[in-house]
Structure 1
Amino acid sequence: MPVAQPELEQLMDVVRDVAGALAGRLRPGFVDLEELEADGFEGLVKALDDYDSAKGPLTPYVVVRSRGAMIDGLRRKTMTSRRARAAGIAEPEVLSLEHEVDEGVRLMDVIVDPTSPTPEEASLSTAAPAVRSELASLPKRHQRILVLRFLHDRPRTEIAAAEGIPVSRLVLIEKRFRDRLRPPRPADTDQLTEKELAVLRLAAEGASAAETAKSVRRRLETVKSQRCRIIAKLRARNMMNAVAISYQRGLLR
């Protein structure tokens, strides 16, 4: 879901607040706040990638996804510490081993969070000509960051430290590149069926779900489901917003 930079900055602030609240519930020194924020930004990016209005308001959805990503990160850290104690290995040694593993396959990450790569990540990993072309059009620094992030699977915190930039800046670079790679969506008007258009027209006239059901001679539950699908397809906040969007796009006249 493409978002304007001011809105993205606001969502990043939300993630930082979630990280601060979660850090306050942990014992001092257990985890660095920046690590929590980095995991939260990972959740933010994934949330924006798969969000649609059927999932409810955006901000609460981002809170849930970013907090979940932070908890996944804490779980990985806890599992590593427990295995270290069981093996009689000191914590610093385990951390150095974890760093060496980052040079290749991050097995712990795969076990804990076996999520499939996004289409953009898959495109980058195969280095398709179109992706190479997009990369070539970017500043050299952005090219380096994106290659490290996607082709070499470097953690955001590591790249940000090496480049001397905040993790939030790296998230912006990554998000903009994802948006450039994402193919244009098909016209939303093509997705509405004739029956849904009929329900939409009645909603524009001010008809309630019950009045619409009576007018089109369908069950109330059926009409409610159609209204929900209309809202989801038009990515509207509610039915009133769906009507406004429909006028803007020429669906209604």
Structure 2
Amino acid sequence: MMLAAQAEQYLPMIRRVRRRTFPGVWQGCDVEEMESEGVIGLVKGLQSYDASRGPIEPYLWRRIQGAMLDWARREDRLSRGQRRLQRTREETMERLRAELGREPDDGEVAAALGLDLAEYQATHDAWQNHAHITTVRGEDGDEVGILDLLANDDPDPEAHLERKQVLERLRLHIEELPERDRAIIRMYFLEDVTMAEIAAVLGVSVPRVSQLVKRILGNLRERLINEGITC
């Protein structure tokens, strides 16, 4: 059977996988784009399938699901704490626009959020820069979130192996960081500690914490690039 005909036969599976894997979607999620990634996973699955992999439908399900999970990780790289604060910021800005009849300035948004201006601006800078700083590209050209790798459970065996290899290198480089840098990575990305709380622990300003995070991630990114994981 031709590849196009095979793909058409299994297209209904894509929506079933999406609904089962993502019963709810987050604000701004492009469902059509997610399902398009599922189509790519389906085609790659059909191309790589052979009988030694077992029944075809469970195999294709894993490939489609893996493609969608990869897409979701690329689209949603912020930590849980950052996402909560970002949603609160968006809601606050919408409320202030209605109350003021104009676009609120940073000072007004910061005050409404209960943050000082420096902390708000540092956090906003982190949102703006996070996606660029914390992503690398594997040999297949797909973007990989550096810190997302720490909790990756990709069901696609081939993608899982590639990510595992990158993860091993990343963990090694994190272990080689100075103790303070390791602590910052742990607090900010794995424990959802805010920049203000990290600043209090380290005895530095919030903008300084933002600078440290950027420097550490830039360092990790450069080390991975030097090992052939190109950006």
Q: TM-score, normalised by structure 2?
A: 0.35
Greater C-alpha Rg: 1
